[in-house]
Structures are given as structure tokens and as C-alpha cells.
């Protein structure tokens, strides 16, 4: 999904689900889900953890903010060309 940078939300994206699932955009709060089977949890395409059957998985925002560098001021203009 394309979101405005001022929003305080979490984006949860299922990777290779059995059924077609869209990304979920939720308010920036602590979320707990229960695993329906053994699974791998991948965070930021780097950290991999495992969760067992019916094991609770807690998702929350990290206490320190992320820092991003914008090299060119083109982001919102490109989105307007796409009709957003």
C-alpha cells in the first residue's frame, strides 16, 4: 500500500500465504496474533524467527524512531502522476 509519511501505522504483509491476503494497515498499537501452525516470521527482510502452533506473536513499534534520508525530493510528485 501507498501511505502518507505522516501516518503512525504498522503494515503487516503476509509473504507466500496459502490464500491471497492483502497487506494489513493497522494503528500504531501493540498487536498479538496466534499462530495456527508452525511458521517462520520474517521482519524487515532480515530477521527470521520461528513460532509454534498456537504460540502468541506480539507485534509492536520499536521504541527508537527510524531515520531515512531522501536524496531527491520526488516522492509525492511521482505519486501524483500515478493518480494518488
| Secondary structure of 10-77 as H, E, C letters | EEECCCCCCCCCCCEEEECCCEEEECCCCEEEEECCCEEEEECCCCEEEECCCCCCCCCCCCCCCHHH
Spatial separation of the C-alpha atoms in residues 5 and 14, rounded to whole Å: 22
Calculate mean pLDDT across residues 24-48. Answer: 86
Which pLDDT score, from 0 to 100, does residue 83 have?
Answer: 65
Which pLDDT score, from 0 to 100, does residue 48 have?
Answer: 84
Q: Quick check: helix, strand or coil at residue 81?
A: helix
Which pLDDT score, from 0 to 100, does residue 74 have?
Answer: 61
Q: Is the pLDDT of residue 69 over 80?
A: no
Q: Is the pLDDT of residue 54 over 90?
A: yes
- Of the chain, the end-to-end C-alpha distance in Å amounts to 11
pTM of the model: 0.56
Calculate mean pLDDT across residues 7-33. Answer: 85
Asked if 14 and 21 touch (Cβ cutoff 8 Å), the reply is: yes
Amino acid at each position: 500500500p501507498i501511505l502518507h509519511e505522516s501516518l503512525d501505522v504498522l503494515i503487516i504483509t503476509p509473504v507466500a500465504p496459502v490464500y491471497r491476503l492483502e497487506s494489513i494497515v493497522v494503528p500504531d498499537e501493540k498487536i498479538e496474533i496466534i499462530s495456527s501452525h508452525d511458521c517462520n516470521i520474517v521482519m524487515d527482510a532480515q530477521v527470521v524467527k520461528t513460532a509454534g502452533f498456537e504460540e502468541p506473536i506480539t507485534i509492536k513499534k520499536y521504541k527508537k524512531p527510524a531515520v531515512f534520508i531522501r536524496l531527491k525530493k520526488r516522492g509525492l510528485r511521482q505519486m501524483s502522476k500515478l493518480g494518488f
